[in-house]
Amino acid sequence: MATATKRLNKELRHFSRIPSSCCSAGPINDDNCEDRTFIYGDEVPMRTAENDTDEGNAIVLKNDIDIIRCCGLIAYWEFSPVNPGTLKFIVWRSIGVDNYYEVIGTNSVNISASDVNSVFKFTPDDSDRISIIAEDLIGWFDDGANIIGYDNCSSAYNASTPDHRDLRPNYCPTQTYKMTLDKEPEDKDVFMWSGTRYIDRVYVMQITTVDNTPPYFNISRYDKTIPDHSDIDFSIMDLYFNDTDYADWFDDIEPEYDDDPYFYYDTFSKSVHVKDELLHIVGQQNQYHKFIVWAEDSCYNRVTGTVTITTFNGPPTFPNLPKTALISESKTGALYTFTVDDPSNGPDIITCEMLRSIPSSESHKFYLEGKTIYLNESATLSRDLIPEYEIVIACTDGTDTSETYLRIELTKDQSDNEAPPEFIQIESGLLASLTVTVVVVDTVTMYSMIMNSLVFVP
């Protein structure tokens, strides 16, 4: 619904313009400013400029013939200076509260004494051309230097109505205001305008506009690969739109399809994220998705970015499998039980098999059941003959197979007269004047401690 409303508003945004070659015109339906000049009456070179001696340091033109009625850029300012100084042209925009306006952009130019009483054309660099939209106002700040002259006019023919604008040369604007601002305006400053209103003068100034520059991507297509078990809200990538126009902004940034089941675009962080559990099909290693995001600037220039997102199956993992396990040579039956995880959403059913042992001639001694390595009933282990084995294991989730190995190092059995049982646990007490809560040591270490006359005190 929101998208449809925006489209309707776009269709309804038709504004009037005043051609430089004509002194009267009806409303013309046109969103874009194009290359045209906005003036009152005769062009600047044809007009007389008188010196403004009234107090004040800023001017705003709120007349219906001065209000911006299109979307584009100010290509240049043309005016007749009558005094030298620094002149700052300003684009003002209403903040939605009566008489309060925000500074959208500024262009500054120095006027020397040699520039006075001539036609001065100021063309800002492309990067400094101010973006404008319908209902914007133009004006300037000169810190009281009264740089731009004015031409007298008569308000006798101020006969404009909402349905018809009287644009004859003797039409006199009645909504020109001059006031003293308490500071020099900068971008994003907000001022309340309540200055002196003029009904008998037209300032000798005009602007020429051009179309807005469309936004762009540095790269029009992006490719990203992520696991298909990525968490919801996982940030896949940053996706920035660029706009070289000064004071322009993105009116709308949306995915091409709002109902994309798997991804969304975060307009605040300017990034693509996982929306919901990603598609996972057993037996299919990859899934391919196209996520399209478009952006429109203030003049509805649209740019589209396409992200191809490849999701892949996460193969089985062995989170707690050590590289080596110490096992007594007298051990029989179950030798070692390991754990296998499947990261995929589901999870998938995992099956494992023993591929071989090293040495390969001893593979007959071992077999795998579930996640446990067993020693065959007829087989025996001897550290003296073969001190270690490697058991190679493969586990599959129905899509991918992971291989790993476990090295089994055999430990020698101790005879009865060599030492106590293999492990002993000693309760809390003092050992060499240190507090020990629980101490677990092997028989060889305990025997050495006793031989060195270290005494355990219970």
Tens digit of each residue's pLDDT (9 = 90 or more) over 163-222: 555 555 546 788 899 999 999 999 999 999 988 998 878 888 889 999 988 888 766 568
Question: DSSP character for 256?
Answer: S
Predicted confidence at residue 253, as pLDDT, reads 74
Mean pLDDT of 372-397: 95
Annotate 369-418 with three-state secondary structure. ECCEEEECCCCCCCCCCCCEEEEEEEEECCCCEEEEEEEEEEECCCCCCC
pLDDT above 70 for 10:
no
Predicted confidence at residue 166, as pLDDT, reads 53
196-to-184, 202, 224 alpha-carbon distances in Å: 18, 14, 60
Mean pLDDT of the residues in the chain:
79
- CATH top class, domain 324-411: mainly beta
End-to-end CA distance of the chain: 81
Predicted confidence at residue 429, as pLDDT, reads 33
Mean pLDDT of 332-340: 95
Kindly state the tokens that stand for 29.
């339906």
From CA 37, how far away is CA 43, in angstroms rounded? Answer: 9
Task: Burial-class residue 48 by CB neighbours within 10 Å (0-12, 13-18, 19+).
Answer: exposed
Please give the radius of gyration of the chain, using alpha carbons only, rounded to the nearest integer: 41
Question: DSSP character for 40?
Answer: S
User: 26-30, 33-37, 86-90, 155-159: which range is least confident on average?
Assistant: 26-30
Which of the pair, 430 or 322, is modelled with greater confidence? 322
Where in the chain is CATH 2.60.40.60?
Answer: 221-312, 324-411
* Element counts in the chain: helices (H) and strands (E): 2, 33
Kindly state the tokens that stand for 42.
């005769």
In a 13 Å sphere around the CA of 446, the CA atoms on its Cβ side amount to 15
Give the confidence band of 46 by pLDDT, cuts at 50, 70, 90.
low
What is the signed CA dihedral for 163, 167, 168, 171, rounded to 10 degrees? Answer: 100
> How far does CA 365 lie from the centroid of its chain?
59
Predicted confidence at residue 155, as pLDDT, reads 62
Pick the CATH number of 221-312 from 2.50.20.10, 1.20.140.10, 2.60.40.60, 2.60.120.380: 2.60.40.60
What is the value of pTM for the model shown?
0.62
CB atoms within 10 A of CB 74: 26
Predicted confidence at residue 185, as pLDDT, reads 95
Give the confidence band of 452 by pLDDT, cuts at 50, 70, 90.
very low
Give the residues across from 269 on adjacent strands: none
From CA 277, how far away is CA 310, in angstroms rounded? Answer: 14
Kindly state the tokens that stand for 393.
């294991």
83-to-37, 44, 76 alpha-carbon distances in Å: 24, 16, 20
Predicted confidence at residue 445, as pLDDT, reads 39
